[in-house]
Amino acid sequence: MNQNFEQVTPRQISEERFCLKLDHEGTYQCVTTGLVFEVTEKVDIVYSILSWYKYDAFLKDNWKLCGPLFEVKSDPTLIKSIHFPHSLCLANHLPDLKFKILHIKDQKGEIEPITDHSTTHVQWNVSSLSPVGPIFQTTSPDIQHHGVVLIYKIINDHQSLLFHVYMAANNDSVIKDIIKAEKHAKQKSVRIDKPSACCKKLTNGKTYRLLGEPHAEIIPEEIEFMDMTSFKCKSYFEVYLEHREDLQLKLMDKETDEVIWTSKLRECDWANYKQNEQDKQRDVKQNRRRKSSTEIFVEDNHVKKPRWDDNGIVLLDGLTCKKNNNMTDKQLMQLAEKLGSNWQVIAIRYLDLEYQDISKIREEHENPTMQKFSMLQIWKNKELNNATPSNLHNKLFDADISCEARNVLEDFCN
């Protein structure tokens, strides 16, 4: 945080999406993401953290990623500049270090100049708004990043302990990918709330090892650090302890034995998780009582959003409807006809298609509706037996699609 800027707390719309309502001209820093906005008058800004691995194909000429990728939505004429946080350590002078901004417009990556940079941020004058993030270029091999260590405890009924320990650059896009990977993993886990910042910098290409006291089984014993920003799968240490006891973890430089990060894990660090789960279950049971006529009236006069569980079951107005059948080509075409012109963004951001898929679709089809239909077919082929209306509804829940398209999709689910 830079105290020269006014610190503001955004309203969180979803897990990685935020909104700022700024009432006056000035320079404001988001306390959640570190982004800095220089605005000329009253403005609303909606922004979200994106994954870099879907866009790194746009990089060329040895440019590398060095900070989070953001999608910013607002009136670009009211935002003079944006300062993007970066993870590079600039204590060691790199004479040929260059910063720039990767700006993705119309499914093309443009490398744009910056106006200034500091030890923490890269400043860019806003031209238009679409996915943007900081990149750098240097011939020096000794690139250092401010690092973090994230710990996840696997939740099970075993007497043993199992942890996933991630070593990564301090980059919100990377952290987002790690959180998402753990959230959707087959083994349920809970993040251990420990100071995550490394006390020493992580050097690109150096090897680090993790030690556990008392003796813990750690696989792999060592990992070579590299910026994993553009990797979909992030590497981690798996730490196994046969008996439940306090565990001291140390991340060390393999060459020098210098301690980079250390923390002590105690059972109380994750014991609250079980208590919270029990409290939630107790609250659910207590709320299962007969509603009064007043409560029913209030509920009926609110628009109810469908709720979805992991099995693709929609819960709406107390009814449970299972939709296990895959979507037909006819349904895909009906939806394609209602989707807007931003189908490329939907394909990459929400349906996990790659840039190569987009290029192939545009080469094979000139008709916009057929392009969108082909996109949905590729998604269906990737999902196999899970290409159901409910699954597609889940994926597009936060997407910017028309009301007509959303209504068509919800009709398929009912």
DSSP 197: B
Cα 202 to Cα 65: distance, rounded to the nearest angstrom:
15
Cα 251 to Cα 267: distance, rounded to the nearest angstrom:
20
Q: Which residues does residue 111 pair with via DSSP β-bridges, in sequence order?
A: 102
Cα 308 to Cα 313: distance, rounded to the nearest angstrom:
6
Look at residue 287 and tell me if it is in a domain.
no
Look at residue 293 and tell me if it is in a domain.
no
The number of folded domains in the chain is 3
Give the chain's end-to-end CA distance (angstroms, integer): 48
Question: In terms of domains, do 130 and 154 share one?
Answer: no
Look at residue 279 and tell me if it is in a domain.
no
Q: Which residue, of 106, 137, 168, is where some domain finishes?
A: 137
CATH code of the domain in which 130 resides:
2.60.220.30
Q: Which two tokens stand for residue 226?
A: 């590299």
Tell me if the bond preceding 214 is cis, omega within 30° of 0: yes
Look at residue 128 and tell me if it is in a domain.
yes
pLDDT by 10s per residue, the chain, length 414: 666 889 999 998 887 889 999 999 999 999 999 999 999 999 999 999 998 887 878 888 788 899 999 999 999 999 999 999 999 998 877 778 999 999 988 778 889 999 999 999 999 999 888 899 999 998 888 889 999 999 999 998 888 899 999 999 999 999 999 998 998 888 899 999 999 999 999 999 999 999 998 889 999 999 999 888 878 788 999 999 988 889 999 999 999 999 999 999 988 888 766 545 544 455 544 544 444 443 433 333 333 344 444 444 443 333 334 445 888 999 999 999 988 888 888 888 889 888 788 888 988 888 989 999 999 999 998 888 788 888 888 888 877 787 778 888 888 887
Look at residue 165 and tell me if it is in a domain.
yes
| Residue type for position 81 | S
Question: In terms of domains, do 195 and 232 share one?
Answer: yes
Contacts (Cβ under 8 Å, ≥6 apart) of 150: 165, 166, 168, 175, 178, 191, 196
Question: In terms of domains, do 257 and 339 share one?
Answer: no
- Could you tell me if 134 and 122 are in contact, meaning their C-beta atoms sit under 8 angstroms apart? yes
The boundaries of the domain holding residue 94 are 6-137
Angle of helix 368-383 relative to helix 355-364, nearest 10 degrees? 140
Which run of H or E residues covers position 81? strand 79-85
- What DSSP assignment string belongs to 10-79? PEEEETTEEEEEE-SSEEEEETTT--EEEESS-EEEEEEEE-GGGTGGG--TT-EE-S-EEEEES-GGGE
DSSP 140: -
Whole-model pTM: value is 0.66
Which run of H or E residues covers position 179? helix 172-183
How many Cβ atoms from other residues are within 10 Å of residue 387's Cβ? 19
Q: Which two tokens stand for residue 20?
A: 């700022």
